[in-house]
Amino acid sequence: MISTNQFRNGTAIRVDGKRFTILFFQHVKPGKGGAFVRTRLRNIDSGAVIEKTFRAGEKLENVRTESRQMTYLYRDGDLFYFMDSDTYEQVPVPVDVVGEAAGYIAEGGTVSVLSADGEVVSVEPPAHVDLEVTETDPGLKGDTAQGGNKPATLETGVVVQVPLFVNVGDRVRVDTRSNEYLTRV
């Protein structure tokens, strides 16, 4: 059990039978009446964000979470297989849990895997990944970095807008949070 006095950003709690992480909390002591805690919570399973208020000192169930660095091995149907670098244990993760992160995970790449109550709930790729361009329109002579953008399909299947001088076979660095081209590698 965890008290509202022990809230920290990133702490995982169970509210009404659902698992949430605390994104933001604020202790409020009004001049009249009892103190309370205003929170913004993200549902671990669905990703939905809600706002909820708790009475000061209220006890809630704590959810045990663990984040581990793992290496992506391969995909087999609807399962992605990851390996713990320390124990060499292989963990299958369903494609719906991996979600949009699948477009930024290349074989041998390292990701952060979040588990809640022993169950994998999310996969986070690193902030920047280097991927190879597999398909794009050819650039024209005289194209420069300021000359515009064109779509390029990367080795994982994700499409990113790149400068006109990028060609098939080039490796590019992509920001996984905004899906933006950063530089050629």
Question: What is the domain extent for residue 8?
Answer: 2-62
Q: What is the mean pLDDT of residues 27-44?
A: 88
Residues 103 and 150 in one domain: no
Residues 96 and 119 in one domain: yes
Of the two residues 3 and 99, the one the predictor is more confident about is 3
Residues 118 and 145 in one domain: no
State pLDDT tens for residues 83-106: 988 888 888 888 888 878 888 888
Where helices occur in 7-144 by DSSP H, the ranges are 95-98
Q: What is the pTM of this model?
A: 0.70
Q: What is the pLDDT of residue 144?
A: 58
Residues 53 and 104 in one domain: no
- The number of beta carbons lying within 10 Å of the beta carbon of residue 113 is 21
- The number of beta carbons lying within 10 Å of the beta carbon of residue 60 is 17
Residue after which a domain boundary falls, among 91, 124, 157: 124
Number of structural domains, the chain?
A: 3
Residue after which a domain boundary falls, among 124, 143, 170: 124
Residue after which a domain boundary falls, among 107, 124, 141: 124
- 24 strand-pairing partners: 40
State pLDDT tens for residues 143-184: 555 667 888 898 888 899 888 888 888 899 998 888 888 888
CA 50 – CA 57 distance, rounded (Å) = 21
